[in-house]
């Protein structure tokens, strides 16, 4: 669990490892692996502040698995765990 507390409509995502084996069974070396684009939500902010001063509710919740763009968000490492911090709007999809 992380001690990072995101603000507003930001989320903290624990980055899941990139695929090391292709669907055909070929083992990929580290240099050939693509940047991971999947992760698990570790923390969620309070929501975007509206003009009225209230916060909009967040669609995502802690524990959701998501897909995001290769270069989206800000990379952060806490201990030996890689995280990304990004706005909820930068997330492309939730994986059910």
**Interatomic CA distance for residues 58 and 2, integer angstroms:** 19
Write the pLDDT tens digit of every residue in 23-35: 676 665 655 556 6
Write the pLDDT tens digit of every residue in 43-77: 999 888 889 988 888 999 999 999 999 889 999 98
Domain boundaries of the chain, sorted by first residue:
10-95
**Rounded mean pLDDT of 9-26?**
76
pLDDT at 79: 85
According to the CATH classification, is domain 10-95 in 2.40.50.140? no
pLDDT at 81: 86
The pTM for the full model equals: 0.77
**Interatomic CA distance for residues 49 and 94, integer angstroms:** 23
């Amino acid at each position: 669990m992380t001690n990072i507390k995101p603000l507003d409509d930001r989320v903290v995502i624990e980055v899941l490892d990139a695929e090391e084996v292709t669907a055909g069974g070929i083992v990929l070396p580290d240099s050939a692996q693509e940047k991971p684009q999947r992760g698990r939500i570790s923390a969620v902010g309070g929501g975007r502040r509206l003009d009225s001063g209230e916060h909009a509710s967040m669609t995502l919740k802690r524990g959701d698995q998501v897909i995001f763009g290769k270069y989206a968000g800000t990379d952060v490492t806490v201990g030996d765990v890689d995280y990304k911090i990004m706005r909820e709007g930068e997330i492309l999809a939730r994986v059910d």
